[in-house]
Amino acid sequence: MYDVPHEPPGRPDSGPPRKRGSLLPVAIVVGFILAVVLLIVALTGVAGIFILLAISSVVGFVAFHYFVWGWWLTKSLRDKENTDGTNGDSHM
């Protein structure tokens, strides 16, 4: 009765592929952080500098541990696992 196609129609060609290496999101985030920093320092004076140092120390501490335990240690454990010839099922 009705002529129903079995495959959905293809997407029209939208031209050349878009570049994904835009720095605009990075610039927006950096600008936002800079605005927040300037606002805190302007509203609190010298105490704002100490507040920002405390916050950045905590963020730096977390980032450092994320790097060490999340990336380096995982890579190290996978390398050790591959050299041992085990697949991680040694608890049986």
Within-domain flag for 21: no
For residue range 67-85, list pLDDT tens digits in order: 888 877 888 888 888 887 6
Within-domain flag for 50: yes
> Domain span at residue 75?
28-83
Distance CA 40, CA 47 (A): 9
Within-domain flag for 11: no
Within-domain flag for 67: yes
Distance CA 20, CA 1 (A): 46
Distance CA 34, CA 43 (A): 14
What is the model's pLDDT at position 58?
A: 94
Q: What Å distances lie between residue 41 and 30, 59, 76, 81, 84, CA to CA?
A: 16, 18, 42, 49, 54
What DSSP character marks residue 71?
Answer: I
Within-domain flag for 5: no
For residue range 38-70, list pLDDT tens digits in order: 888 888 888 888 888 898 999 999 989 888 888
Within-domain flag for 79: yes
- Domain count along the chain: 1
Within-domain flag for 91: no
Q: Which residue has the higher pLDDT, 87 or 35?
A: 35
Within-domain flag for 43: yes
